[in-house]
Copies of this chain bind each other. A is one copy, B any other.
Amino acid sequence: MRLSELGEFGFIERIRAAAVTGEGVCHGIGDDCAVLELPRGERLLTSKDLLIEGIHFQRCWTDSRRLGRKSVSVNVSDIAAMGGRPRHLYLGLGVPADFPVEELQLFMDGFLEAAAEYGACLVGGDTCRSPGPLLISVTAEGAVAAGREVRRAGAAPGQAIYVSGTLGDSALALHRHTAGQPLDPWLASRHHDPVARVALGKALSENGLARAMIDVSDGLLADLGHILKASNVGAMLEESCLPLSGPFQSALALEPQLLPLALSGGEDYELLFAAQPEQEGALQALANQLAVPITRIGTIIPAGEGLCLRNAAGEVRAADRRGFNHFAGG
């Protein structure tokens, strides 16, 4: 069945039937707006992302279910990076007229499945026809205890820089796709089905351990650059400390020129944060408890020194903090 046969309202009715409600949702899908309540003493966190076919994804490299999951995760990751919990999701979909309803159903299955895993619910959105690419626009609303939000500003010289998980896997997967090379399924899932670090972000906020935080979406150097700019500080990164997965290390052993993927590749959706160095023990205990590895990768330094990289031989160079420029041709 094609979407033009099911119709806009038929499709919305299907979504409405499948969407579950949640805490604080007075009225979800089916009115002009969703009507919501936040717990007293909590602040609203809102994030918005676009995913456009041909720019952010290729339909031939992924499947609709994982695309639905990723559409949720990349937004929820922004909430996690502020230390919040996701609550409400809104989905805007621009669908090519010949897009099969079955694929759209798989997309929605993945979207709703991921939403449920994060404890969020779909409460609104908009659907229409697209003249060309599949267009996905997601808005996520979350909550955080007032004053507990972790911002990009807040880093200070002497603090340690940490990152969760491993870096570069997603970019390596994309590199393999682009080159038409075979792809390890684990690497593929790091790109097509990333996991937002909600529990870690929330714990870092509640315990006051993270002084500045961001999620790694544009690449380690670019996103660290955002923290440095907002906090008016510099950073010294230890190249030998970058957390790299087994598959990434194997690739790197054969092709050392792949290292920049871990520095600038983007779409890791790991949490990058600055913390007081004396809290190393508390941080590692938290990481163990949550089963999310965190790695100290550098130190915040005064602004004048910029963003520096030190290699294993102790040589220091200035880092090129440019991440992915979404407006550059390609």
- Chain A residues within CB distance 8 Å of chain B: 3-4, 6-9, 11, 26-27, 30-38, 40, 43-50, 52-56, 78-79, 81-82, 84, 88, 90-95, 97, 123-133, 135, 137, 139, 141-142, 144, 146, 149, 151-152, 214-215, 230, 325-330
Residue of A30, A49, A326 with highest tally of chain B CB at under 10 A: A326
A246 to B78, CA, bound (A): 50
Closest Cβ of chain B: how far from A3's Cβ, in Å? 5
Residue of A27, A53, A82, A128 with highest tally of chain B CB at under 10 A: A128
Closest Cβ of chain B: how far from A280's Cβ, in Å? 24
15 contacts between A and B (CB under 8 A): A8-B325, A32-B82, A33-B46, A33-B84, A35-B82, A37-B43, A46-B123, A46-B141, A48-B125, A50-B92, A52-B135, A53-B131, A56-B128, A92-B137, A127-B327
Q: Which residue of B lies closest to A54 (CB)?
A: B131
List the B side residues contacting A326 at CB < 8 Å.
8, 127-129
Residue of A9, A31, A97 with highest tally of chain B CB at under 10 A: A31
A126 to B49, CA, bound (A): 5
A128 to B135, CA, bound (A): 12
Residue of A34, A49, A97, A329 with highest tally of chain B CB at under 10 A: A34
